[in-house]
Every structure is written in structure tokens, then in C-alpha cells.
Structure 1
């Protein structure tokens, strides 16, 4: 084609190719439209656009015209055929008669001449545009110049569309990561959280399967927790010694690893799973919180794939979010266990106090009985059975007295356990125990420590129990979030602490008796917390009162002598 289509047709096609940036969003669609324009200008009998696959480094047919249907899945190695030669060397090539060209691979028997031009983006060949004719010497230098011009513009358009597509993919990944973070951090059940994290990994990476392994306590093995394929979760038991798996490098180096061909890497029990699922490549990221390695999360593909930097960064971010969420769930589990333990201790404390009260009430009549018995001065001969009876009664009275004394001694607060404590530090120690619960329930806390230390002589554990009970009661009054304000002040002789919430308040009918044992308005309450708190504060020569309560909130105020 020494005299190609007129110059105006080429200019019109060039303009239409340039307009594709704004007319279409899909690079594949753009490639088909570009090939249509090339056909209009050069009128070949067949034509194609092949792009280099970055994973396989082979040429894959993306758009074609006039080629047999069985060539739609054509894949050429670099250097193979005229198209492969052009891609490998990055130079255009015109073959006047393919019958005399050893590099030519026959596509259609009627083809006589071929022309190929490389698609170059920033000095790198990304593909090849190829046109054929059934006439010998069909393409000349003018045709080569036109195809080169159209190819260069096509490359610019496709590169721009790819860039836009990548930016959109990054934006979608970022949006997905934000959504995933919110979902994962809000999950409190550890097992459900880890399965959700595995599912999110597969969604984020758009891969065939995903898995999550947890590191054993001794740090020698990885145990499979979750495996998800296209059909959903797979119930599978699998343990991998770190030394026998590529995943061991992820744990030891604390870095992400990529494996392109699992069949030549894994030689352990996981190979059966890999073969069954048809897995080829993987990307594994360690799940690390602080200095602790929790486990590994993995994305598997069923085709050979090289993960790009964007995919690696997104996966690393997901692993980081997962680590925070897992640690968060663990903390919540510990807090809930501590709260349940505290409730059990409340019951035991109350039972101990009740036992002490009963023992105290028994001691007085027991003392009278013992005195009266001794005053009777009952003496019988050893042969008289009553002699033994009198001995037994005396021994049992002494035994009862010892039991009563042991109960009273056990329940008595020992002054030696009291130490000088800063009230602000006690408050902060209490808040550390409930900070995650406050965050989960979206409760804000207001506490500004006084400028001067407020020293009190207290049993630290008991005082923390009082404060923890008051703060937990406040959180239970605000299930949908709210605010807790804590104020610490002093007067001439006492330290004062006020805890105020903006919850639903205490029913007016029980406000007067709120410190009585077993009185509660909650189905899951014991009715012991405030009663125990009052007893503890009285033992410390202080006291507590309900300052006020209404539907707008509740305020408790207690005081202690200054040290």
C-alpha cells in the first residue's frame, strides 16, 4: 500500500482515537475502537493488537479483525513470530512477502505481507499493532508512518485509560479498606472476626482463595484458622511447622512475601490443599501488633500472578487493621471476663459481710450461754454418764466461740492494708480498665486531675472496686453512648469525688433504697455493687450518696478523710 488512504482520513482517525480518553472508560473497549480506526485507514485483510502480560511476559491477543476464531486465545512468547520479534526488539517491521520470512507464523494461508509496530510507553514496549494483506509488498514507508502515528496515539490513550482505571481501583481499595476497618474493629467475637478478616482479604484482592493462620503459643507452628474459596468457608484442619513452609519466612522476617509458583515452594501438608484448589501464586502478610506476631493472612490466585505494589500495600494495610481488630477483641474479652469476675466477687463479698453480721449476732448470746454454763459448776463422778455430757457441751461451746472469732477476724478490715494514695492516680487506674468499653459504647469521658495531689489513706484494691462499680453502672445507663464527667475536689478535712453521667437515670421509686443489698432495676444486675461500695467507704471513715438522678442523668458523690 504505497498510496494509502488519503491524509484527511488518517487525521480524522487520529482525532477519534484521541477522543477515546473522554468517550470510554474501559481500555479493552478502547483497543477494539482503535483497531477499527486502523482498519478504516489502512484497509488490511486482517489486523490485531496484542499486549504483553506483565505476569507471564507473553503476548496476548486483545483485539483482532479477520483472524480465525481459534486464534482468539493466541499467546506468543517474546521473539516468537513477527509480532513477538517486534515486541522483543522494539522496532517496527515490514515483511513484503511472508513466504520468504522464516520468522513468520502462518495465521491465514492467504496472507502475503505483514507490518508490525511496537506500542511504547515511557521507553517500555507494552504491545504490538499488526496488520496483514493478501497482496505482496502491500505496505510501504508511508503506510508505516501512518500506522506508527496511529499506534503512538493509541498507546497514549490506552496508557491514560489504564492510569485512570488504576486510580479508580486505588480509590475503591481505599474505600473498601475504610469500610473493612469499621466492620472489623466493631467485631468483638475473636473467631467471627478472624473469619471476617479472611473474607475481606479475598474481596480486597479479588483472588481465588484466602486463608488466615495463627501462630502457636510456642512460636513453632502455624495453625489454620480460616480458609475461604469461591464457595465460601472450608472446614479444614492444618498445622504447618515454620521451618517447613514458605510462611515461616513471613514470621521470621516479619515482612510480606510473594510466591509465584507454590508447587515448587511448598512441600508440606498444605500441598494437598494447594493442588485440590488449583492454587498457583500467593501473597502473605504477617499480622503484627506492636512486637507480637499474631499470625499470617494470605491471598491465593489460581493463575500465575505477580502482585503489584498497590496490591501489596493494600494487603499490608489490611493485615495491620486486622491486627488492631484482633487485639481489640482480645482486650474486650478480658474486660468482660474481669467485669464478670468483679460481679462474682461482689456476691462473695456480700456473703462474707452477711456471715460477719451473723457471727456478730451469734457471739453475744453464745457468750451468755457459756458464762451461765460455767456458773452452774456441774460436777459428776466419772462413772456418771453426765460427766461426759458436761465435757462435750463445754468443748462444743468453746469450738463455737472459736468459729465465731475466726469469721469476725476474717471479715475485719486490717489497717495494715491501707496506704497513702493519690486520688487522681486511682481514678486514672480505674479508667484504664474501662477505656475500651467506653470507646466501644461511644462514651466520652471528662476528667481533669486537680493541680495539687489529693492524698487519702485507703485499701487500693477496695477503692478501685468502688470507682469501677460506679463507672460501670454509668456505662450501663448509656447503652447508646453518652458522657461521663468525674470531678475531684477537697475541703479542709475530706477528699470528694463526683461521678456524673447523662444516662436514663434511676427510677424514683428505688432511689431512697439504692444502697440496700440485692436492690436493682436491671435484669442482669445483682443489686450488690452500691451496697458493697457504701460498706467499703464506711470502713474507710467515708461515705457515699446519690447526689441527684433524673431522666437527664445521674450523679454519685463520695468522700474520704484526707491522709
Structure 2
């Protein structure tokens, strides 16, 4: 072969290699094209480009020419063979006769000479370029200079392409994180949320499998909640003692941990799954909200792998998003419970008000009966059974009067618990109670607090009950979603509140009587909500009215006296 390549040919190849940055996006494809250029300049009988695997620290063949097919999966350790020696020491090497070189590993029996140049990026060897010849002393210093020049340019190109690919990967990961965050925050079922988080961890990390463990109430155990592999969700039930698991470090130190070889670390019940799935390395991030450790999310690989900083950062971010989503689901669950409790309280309040109303209605006739009975002045001899009957009747009338008075006194006590509140604050408190229901029914709330505070002296619980009843009535008129608009203002003497919806409206036939007790057009309604609301507002020296209602929606207007400053 010609050991003195044409300089113009080398320059042309150098230019084509440098152009690969804009001609291709894949580093692996660029390596193949670079090797083609090296072959065209130096015309070796065989050639290869090998890169150092950061996980195994071995040299893996990335592109080759003229080598046997069984060498495609060859992995050399650093220092092994001419290629390994060049990678280990970071120095170029020419071997004139490989038969006299003890470091040489035979690739093809016909090879007689070899030349190797390290690929260095920012002072670090990342790979080696090799060329072989079937002639003795086929390469000289001139050929080495050209190969070094081409290799340096090739390294620069490949490094740029790797950087571009990493940036593109980061952009995709960021986009995925945003999408995942929206999906997680929108998931309200806590159990399904954690399964979704586990699936997304595997997808984001592009790993063999992922798992989510929850920390037990006593803080001593981890319970496997979800395990996902390529086939989907795996049904596994497992509880680990923190004392027997490497995950304890992540929980106790509240830091991410990385394990390269699980086989020599985990010796508990989870080892069964490790062997079955062929798991080798893992990255575990604690799921922390505030000061509370909720659990740990884990990414598993089926090959030895060292997670880079980008992978660690994106996994930490996912764990943080998951913690917020889990906490949101907890809050939503509590809101559900609060709403149910409010409904029960509403029923109890309804019952109490009905009892008070009945007691009030009973007291008048009872007073008349007692007066008339006393005026009869019935006297019977002590031995007459009727004498005992008269005593019993008198005692029972007194007992009934005491019961009525207790019921009325109880009602008056609750009604007297008035404190000063800002009307906007009462509205916001009401909306907090129903925000989950509004979210689920896709109902948009429009409320802007007025510029000035509107102060009223009210029983907060009762006024919240009125507002809650009006908002819930509006939601029931909009089963397929809609809009509720709330407006608050004041004049010289009263605070005004308007609640409008774009629901189906109230049937015209019952509009005039909607504040009457037990009137309802819903199968599951009691017909007491608006009646009680009107009674509460009247007890507060205010009132409520239906401004208008049509198939396009309904509007209620209520008012309360302003606080006397």
C-alpha cells in the first residue's frame, strides 16, 4: 500500500468529517462515515473505532471494516491488546510487526502491522481508532500524523453530536416531565396515581423496570405498592424491613442512592424479584413532601449501569412532582370527606331547625292546654284514682314545656354566635369546600373579590351553609359542566351577593314556591335547602330571592346588613 497518502486527499477527508456535524444527527452513523474517510485516506486492510463504555470501563466496537463478524461483540478491557494499551495510556502507537509484539491480540492471521490513535475529549480518552495492514512496517510517522489529525477531528465531531443528542434528550425529558406533571396532578385517585407514577418513572428513565415503595406508619417498613416492567404492572405483595434493605439509606438520609450491583446488596425477600427480573443496577429517589418522607421511587436496569447527573436530576424532579401529586390526592380525599361531613351537618342542621320550628309551633297550644287545665282546678279525694291521674297529667304537661324550652334555647344559643367576617373570605371558604366537585364536573368558577372589604356580623357556619347550598344547587343544574359567576358588592347599609349559573334553570311552575319547605324537582332532593337558607338569612336580618331563571340559567341574590363599625 501507499504509506504516504496524498495530502489533498487527507484535507478533503478532514473537511468531510468536520461537515458531519450538520449532515447527521446520530453519533453512531457519524462513526461509520468517519471510518469510511479514514479507510479512503490510509487504505488499510482492516480498521475499527472502539469507544469506552462508562459503565463497564471496557472498549466496545462501534464501527469496523474488514474484521470477522464474531468480533462485532468484542469488548476489550483497558490495557488489553494494542487498542486497550492505547486507551489506558492515552498515547498513539505504531507496531511494525505484530508477530514481535507481546501486547498484540490476533484478529486476522494475515495482519502484520497496526496503528492505533486515542480519541481524547477534554483530556479524557473516550475511544481508540485502529488501522491494520497485511504488510510489515506499512505505517510511518507521516501516516500516524494523518490518522491523528483525522482522529482529533472525528473526536470533536462525535463529541459535538453527543452534546446535541444530550441536549435533545434533555429537552424531550423536560417536555415529558411537564406532560407527566399535568397528568399526575390531574389524577385524584391516590392508588391509581402511584401506579401512574411508577409507569412514568420507567418511561422517563427508559429502564427495565421501576417500583414504588411506601413507608409504613411506624417508619420501620417499606411496602411495595407498584412494580412495572416491559410487560406492564406486575402483581406483587411485599413488605421490607428498613433494617434489611439498602433503601434505608435513601429514607434516613433523604437522599438519592445508586447501587451498581444489586446481587451483592439486597439480601431480603426482594432478592427473589431481582433474580427473576435479572435486575443489576438501581437508582432510588425518596418521595418527600415538606418534612414527611412518603416512600421511595426506583429505576432498575438489567445491565450494569452508572446513572449520569442528568438522569439523577430528572429522576429527582419526577420524585418531587410525585410527592406533590400524592399530597394533592390526599387533600382531595380530605375535601371529599369534608363535603360529606358538611352534607351530614346540613341534614343535622335541617333536623335541628325543623325541631325548633315544631317546638315553636307546639309551645303555643301547649301553653293554652296547660292554662286551661290549671283553670279547671280539678279536685278529687285522695283515694280516688282520678286524683293520681290529675297529678300525672300536670307533671307531663310541665315536662313537655321543659322539653320545648330546651329545644328553643338550644336554637337561640347557636343563632347568637355571630362574629365579624369579610364577605369575600366567606365566599373563598365555600369555594374551597367544593373545588373538587367543581373540578370533577368541569365547572368554571368566576369570582373576583371587590376592592374594598365588605364586613358582616354573622354566624359563619350558617352563612357557609347558605352559600354551599346555592353553589351545590347550581352544580346539580349543570351535570355536563358549565360556569358559575359570583359577584359581591355593598351599598350604604347592606352587603349583596349574586350567584349565577348557566344551567338548565328552575321549572317556571315552581319558581314562586322554591323557598317553601319540602318543595323540590329532584328525585334525591329534600326540598329544605332553600327554605332553610331563607330562614337563616332572615334570622340575620337579611333575605334571599330568585332574580331570574330560564333554560339559560338561574341567578340568586341575597343580602345581609353591614357590620356596625
Same fold at TM > 0.5? yes
Q: Distance in 2 between matches of 1:371 and 1:423?
A: 47
Q: Deviations over 1:402-451 (max 9, x none)?
A: 44444434444545422333434433433444456666746353333453
CA drift of 1:52 comes to: 0.4
Give the conservation status (yes or no) of the 8 Å contact 1:474–1:484. Answer: no
Q: Deviations over 1:27-68 (max 9, x none)?
A: 212222222232233222222111001111111111122222
Residue 446, structure 1, aligned to residue 447, structure 2: yes
CA drift of 1:14 comes to: 3.0
CA drift of 1:117 comes to: 0.9
Structure 1: gaps of 5 or more residues: none
Cα 1:216–1:515, aligned 2, differ >3 Å: closer, same or farther? farther
Q: Distance in 2 between matches of 1:527 and 1:332?
A: 28
CA drift of 1:78 comes to: 1.0
Cα 1:510–1:156, aligned 2, differ >3 Å: closer, same or farther? farther
Find the counterpart in structure 1 of residue 195 from structure 2. 195
Q: Distance in 2 between matches of 1:447 and 1:271?
A: 57
Give the conservation status (yes or no) of the 8 Å contact 1:78–1:87. Answer: yes
Cα 1:16–1:332, aligned 2, differ >3 Å: closer, same or farther? same
Q: How does 1:390-469 map to 2 (within 5 A)?
A: 390-414=390-414, 416-434=416-434, 441=442, 443-451=444-452, 453-469=453-469
Q: How does 1:248-397 map to 2 (within 5 A)?
A: 248-375=248-375, 386=386, 388-397=388-397
Find the counterpart in structure 2 of residue 231 from structure 1. 231
Find the counterpart in structure 1 of residue 204 from structure 2. 204
Find the counterpart in structure 2 of residue 80 from structure 1. 80
CA drift of 1:94 comes to: 0.7
Q: Deviations over 1:238-297 (max 9, x none)?
A: 223334333222223322222222223333332232222221211122222233322221
Cα 1:150–1:213, aligned 2, differ >3 Å: closer, same or farther? same
Find the counterpart in structure 1 of residue 6 from structure 2. 6
Residue 482, structure 1, aligned to residue 497, structure 2: no
Give the conservation status (yes or no) of the 8 Å contact 1:117–1:151. Answer: yes
Cα 1:324–1:516, aligned 2, differ >3 Å: closer, same or farther? farther
Give the conservation status (yes or no) of the 8 Å contact 1:2–1:143. Answer: no
Higher deviation after alignment, 86-95 or 424-433: 424-433
CA drift of 1:86 comes to: 0.5
- Provide the secondary structure at the position in 2 that maps to 1:488: strand
CA drift of 1:122 comes to: 2.0
Find the counterpart in structure 2 of residue 119 from structure 1. 119
- Provide the secondary structure at the position in 1 that maps to 2:513: coil
Higher deviation after alignment, 539-548 or 300-309: 539-548
Give the conservation status (yes or no) of the 8 Å contact 1:482–1:502. Answer: yes
Q: Distance in 2 between matches of 1:298 and 1:129?
A: 38
- Provide the secondary structure at the position in 2 that maps to 1:128: strand
CA drift of 1:384 comes to: 5.3
Q: Distance in 2 between matches of 1:395 and 1:373?
A: 12
Q: How does 1:21-100 map to 2 (within 5 A)?
A: 21-100=21-100
Q: How does 1:144-155 map to 2 (within 5 A)?
A: 144-155=144-155
CA drift of 1:389 comes to: 4.7
CA drift of 1:371 comes to: 4.5
Cα 1:33–1:455, aligned 2, differ >3 Å: closer, same or farther? closer
Give the conservation status (yes or no) of the 8 Å contact 1:2–1:139. Answer: no
Residue 544, structure 1, aligned to residue 508, structure 2: no
Q: Deviations over 1:302-330 (max 9, x none)?
A: 11111112212211221222122212222
Q: Distance in 1 between matches of 2:464 and 2:270?
A: 50
Find the counterpart in structure 1 of residue 19 from structure 2. 19
Residue correspondences, number: 561
- Provide the secondary structure at the position in 2 that maps to 1:546: strand
Give the conservation status (yes or no) of the 8 Å contact 1:347–1:528. Answer: no
Q: Distance in 1 between matches of 2:197 and 2:507?
A: 43
Higher deviation after alignment, 237-246 or 188-197: 237-246
Q: Distance in 2 between matches of 1:251 and 1:517?
A: 57
CA drift of 1:231 comes to: 1.5
Find the counterpart in structure 1 of residue 497 from structure 2. 497
Structure 2: gaps of 5 or more residues: none
Q: Distance in 1 between matches of 2:398 and 2:242?
A: 67
Q: Distance in 2 between matches of 1:277 and 1:240?
A: 18
- Provide the secondary structure at the position in 1 that maps to 2:115: strand
CA drift of 1:141 comes to: 1.7
Higher deviation after alignment, 247-256 or 106-115: 247-256
**TM-score using structure 2 length:** 0.90
CA drift of 1:207 comes to: 0.5
Cα 1:5–1:421, aligned 2, differ >3 Å: closer, same or farther? closer
- Provide the secondary structure at the position in 1 that maps to 2:19: helix
CA drift of 1:543 comes to: 1.3
Give the conservation status (yes or no) of the 8 Å contact 2:544–2:558. Answer: yes
Higher deviation after alignment, 49-58 or 303-312: 303-312
Residue 169, structure 1, aligned to residue 154, structure 2: no
Give the conservation status (yes or no) of the 8 Å contact 1:343–1:526. Answer: no
Q: Distance in 2 between matches of 1:100 and 1:41?
A: 27
